């Protein structure tokens, strides 16, 4: 029996000719990632184990993104611990205020992950890098510590689900709408510990930003990872960017998949996930015009804070005004995205519309800072999770959507189809 893309990458890094679903393997790592929340825990384990050093100071990345610039004393102490560790072991890919961005936007941008990479990260959305043909997955901080010491970790080889994406996406359909549709279809445990592998002629219409968004939210369906085949779009993105040697892996014709789905992108409609799970998906056509009144719109995160996302929001906000009583917070995912958006005049559009622009940070996504919700408040957000209390008070609500839908909703004050508010 043939292998899937994910299985081929795992086999190569385990030094094996082949692997099969359910097999336990030990594999060499190309990148180990941590952030300002998870790295301190890993460092404590590292120190408790009396490790003498890291396996490779060029293959560890630490990104201070969740609570930075530091929101309080605890956050400051956590970041200080990581700064000291990075200095002691000369961690080459340490990113702090002024250089950092949201980790899962920053690592692809910096060329630290790419085709054929095997990456673990002490953050569940590490699965983002599958957009580039990598096998990447989230792990606990203890596994991060072991990875920093040995450069290896164990895996149970996942089985896989095949998603055939066909035809050109309809107007205002982005990667976010596609993945929300899929999660709504299979559920938050529909891909539990399995690879979500994406194929089809529809891929030629999906930018790297769309793919990064889709792979990012594979974990919201319970997946071990999400992955796309390398194509010309991938190659163009990594050109003069990826710091490693790209290795392209393609699924065998006889690769085994547990299930197979076909999604016609031309038939999708802008989609919103209602509280309190990403699987509670509804199209904008299924939502009454004034059914959901919002008090906040957040456009950013590791899911939707890239330049194409900000352009989509600007297209809607241009010549429009944020509704009275709505706070619209826009968060570029990296410093490079921040500069690009500023130079393109997007900040003028945002500020003239009544929105605020933040420094790159995870911020409100996890209820950290820069946009916490009070009791009874509702937010539409381009983030990836809408669990109870995710963005603040346990009696607040988060609705997940694309940048276009979030921006349109900020203009009307209600969850809205962007086609109804856009002004050319």
- pLDDT tens readout for residues 250-283: 999 999 999 999 999 999 999 999 999 999 999 9
Query: What are the pLDDT digits (tens) for 122-171?
Result: 999 999 999 999 999 999 999 999 999 999 999 999 999 999 999 999 99
Cis peptide leading into 276, omega within 30 of 0?
yes
Structure token pair of residue 115: 């085709």
Cβ 237 vs Cβ 208: under 8 Å: yes
Q: How many CA atoms lie within 13 A of 118 on its CB side?
A: 23
Give the other-Cβ count within 10 Å of 28's Cβ: 15
Q: Where are the beta strands (DSSP E) in 97-151?
A: 118-121, 135-138
pLDDT digits (tens, 9 = 90+) for 223-249: 999 999 999 999 999 999 999 999 999
Question: Which pLDDT score is estimated for 229?
Answer: 97
> What whole-number distance in Å separates Cα of residue 311 and Cα of residue 236?
20
DSSP class of 113: S
Distance set, CA 141 to CA 43, 178, 259, 278, 380 (Å): 9, 31, 32, 25, 31
Query: To which residue do tokens 């080459």 refer?
Result: 92
Is residue 344 very low, low, confident or very high in pLDDT (cuts 50, 70, 90)?
very high
Instruction: Report helix angle 208-216 to 307-317, nearest 10.
Output: 100
Give the residues across from 197 on adjacent strands: 162, 227
What is the reported pLDDT for 51?
A: 87
The closest alpha carbon to 350, from 365, 332, 333, belongs to 332
pLDDT (mean) for 179-204: 96
Cα separation, 180 vs 355, in Å, equals 25
- Cβ contacts of residue 240 below 8 Å, gap of 6+? none
Q: Assign residue 167 a region: left if phi > 0, alpha if psi is -120 to 50, beta otherwise?
A: left
Give how far Cα 106 sits from Cα of 112, 301, 320, Å: 9, 11, 31
Residue 230's pLDDT is 97
Domains along the chain with CATH numbers: 5-263 (3.30.499.10), 271-420 (3.30.499.10)
Share of the chain above pLDDT 90, in %: 92
Reduce the DSSP state of residue 191 to 3 states and report it: coil
Helix (H) or strand (E) holding 5: helix 5-14
Q: Residue for token digits 């004393």?
A: 73
Length of the chain in residues, anyone? 424
- Would you call 56 helix, strand, or coil by DSSP? coil
Alpha carbon distance 46, 78 (integer Å): 15
**Do 116 and 210 contact (CB within 8 A), yes or no?**
no
């Amino acid at each position: 029996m043939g292998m899937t893309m994910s299985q081929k990458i795992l086999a190569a890094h385990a030094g094996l000719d082949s692997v099969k679903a359910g097999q336990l393997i030990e594999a060499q790592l190309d990148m180990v990632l941590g952030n300002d929340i998870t790295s301190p825990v890993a460092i404590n384990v590292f120190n408790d184990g009396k490790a003498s050093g890291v396996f490779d100071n060029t293959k560890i990345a630490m990104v201070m993104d969740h609570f930075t610039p530091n929101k309080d004393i605890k956050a400051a102490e956590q970041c200080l611990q990581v700064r000291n560790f990075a200095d002691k072991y000369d961690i080459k890919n340490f990113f702090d205020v002024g250089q950092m961005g949201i980790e899962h936007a920053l690592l692809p941008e910096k060329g630290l992950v790419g085709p054929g990479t095997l990456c673990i990260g002490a953050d569940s959305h590490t699965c983002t890098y599958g957009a580039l043909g990598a096998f990447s997955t989230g792990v606990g901080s203890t596994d991060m510590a072991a990875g920093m010491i040995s450069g290896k970790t164990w895996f149970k080889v996942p089985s896989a689900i095949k998603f055939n994406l066909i035809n050109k996406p309809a107007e205002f359909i982005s990667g976010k709408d596609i993945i929300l549709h899929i999660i709504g279809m299979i559920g938050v445990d529909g891909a539990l510990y399995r690879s979500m592998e994406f194929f089809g002629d529809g891929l030629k219409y999906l930018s790297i930003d769309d793919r990064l968004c889709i792979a990012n939210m594979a974990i919201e369906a319970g997946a071990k990872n999400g992955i796309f085949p390398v194509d010309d779009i991938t190659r163009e993105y990594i050109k003069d960017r990826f710091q490693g040697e790209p290795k392209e892996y393609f699924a065998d014709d006889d690769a085994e998949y547990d299930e197979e789905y076909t999604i016609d992108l031309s038939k999708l409609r802008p989609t919103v996930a209602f509280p309190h799970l990403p699987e509670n998906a509804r199209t904008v056509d299924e939502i009454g015009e004034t059914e959901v009144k919002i008090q906040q719109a957040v456009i950013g995160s590791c899911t939707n804070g890239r330049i194409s996302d900000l352009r989509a929001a600007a297209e809607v906000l241009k010549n429009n005004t944020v509704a009275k009583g709505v706070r619209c917070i826009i968060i570029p995912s990296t410093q490079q995205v921040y500069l690009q958006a500023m130079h393109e005049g997007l900040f003028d559009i945002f500020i003239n519309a009544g929105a605020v622009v933040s420094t790159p940070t995870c911020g409100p996504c996890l209820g950290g800072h820069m946009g916490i919700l009070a009791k009874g408040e509702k937010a539409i957000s381009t983030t990836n999770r809408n669990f109870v209390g995710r963005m603040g008070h346990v009696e607040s609500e988060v609705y997940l959507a694309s940048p276009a839908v979030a921006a349109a909703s900020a203009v009307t004050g209600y969850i809205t189809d962007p086609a109804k508010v856009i002004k050319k």
